[in-house]
A and B are shown apart, each in its own frame.
Chain A
Amino acid sequence: MFSIWTPRKSDDEVLIAASGKGDTEAFDELIRKYEKRVYNFAYRLTGNSSDAADVAQEAFIRAYRSVKSFRGDSSFTTWMYRITTNIYLDMRKKASFGKVVSIEERAEKKESGRSAEIADPAPPPEELAITEERRKIIRDAVNSLPEQHRIVITLFRFEERTYEEIASILNIPVGTVKSRINRAGLALAKILQARKDELF
């Protein structure tokens, strides 16, 4: 005989508790709910869809393995960000993991010729609108940032996490989060400055 089963509530706590007891359907519901966010975060970290799928998939697998021990100290979202970040960092160490194209080399080559250039007498603008072309350059620049900087920029500016959430995700003090974000923003601006001929 069939058993009558009523649809579960889409409440994270209920789903997490059920997942912890081995309920794969409950976990499937969690995947459904968070796959877009986790995948996009992984994509922003890795810069390509193939690695993003690997990272995001592994993040959910790892989450399922340890869902029993999830105590709810942070939100499920923060927890998934933490897992995804750690997996990304682990995978970066593997040689087979896709390399993000660095434009710093290009920038350095350009730098050597700069002293011979005649300075543009017109002052640069105060504001720069983000055109499609500039978006690509910024994207490249973000991808070329050192890991630590790229991660905090991604979490703070793109994923719009708070300082406290980022501190929890990365397991670092809030003060360190703030200074790392500032340094990352500056580093990003400097990378863009090396490509200013394309931007202005």
Chain B
Amino acid sequence: MTALVEVKNLKKYFETPRGMLHAVDDVSFSIERGKTMGIVGESGCGKSTLGRVIIHLLDSTDGQIFFEGKDITHANPRQLRKLRENMKIIFQDPYSSLNPRLTVEETIKEPLIISKKYSAKAANDEAERLMNMVGIDQRLRLAYPHELDGGRRQRVGIARALALNPKFIVCDEPVSALDVSIQAQVLNLLQDLQDQFELTYMFVTHDLSVVRHISDDICVMYLGKLVETCESKELFKHPLHPYTQALISAVPTIDIHHKKERVILEGEITSPINPKPGCRFKKRCTYHTTQCNEPQHLEEVLPRHFVACCRVREINHI
């Protein structure tokens, strides 16, 4: 099975007055067609930047991006236009990601009209079909975003992303701004659409419970680095990187009878500006030694389970 999306040694640096900010630093992974890759990490780890670089909303600094086997890293504007029909994004905040001056129908129709593939009549029909698909009532066709609640706005964002039948969608914290009862509705919708159209998702979130629920595979990021990647089930059964272990143990559980062992991390996340070579987690890591000052590389520690930590075998008795 070939990967639909693949990135190799991808880097994205931002220039800041204080130096180079390494938002995404040497990240490689691939996503198979029809699967969901979860990207998880805390604020500032580069997970959203990664999504944006892949779909070319931001230019990469270095590395390669492949889509359906083709290198699209340096796609020209004409190629990009074509590519963007296949690669879409759903944003976190449905309150600010929709144009307040466009109605629901206009919002959904806009990409159809830009593509020049639809006549005015056909675009109307297609918008109607998309609205039905994501469960927005036709009577809201002429409503403006401010008239809709968060859940419905997010459905509009999803309908717009589905226009032109994309193959790949970056979902950037699509349910984080929603209440739990609405969150479940939107997650179910995303799963149904995936089954129906064989969509491939890259699901970016800080919420471990959500990422575990929706993903086939997961990448854990810390300060621009990919620190652990494997199947979703495997990650939650055998987290191997000390950061992943701390992250999973930090999630408050609703199981009130089994208190879990918790790793409380000391200290704050260090700055991603001009980071030193070596493990970026070491300041907060209980296992750190001088070995950790060397650059860390992803290694296949267990079958299809990759970890970037020089002491991973020792710590986990592998």
Are A and B physically bound partners? no
| Residues in chain A within 8 A of chain B (CB atoms) | none
| Residues in chain B within 8 A of chain A (CB atoms) | none
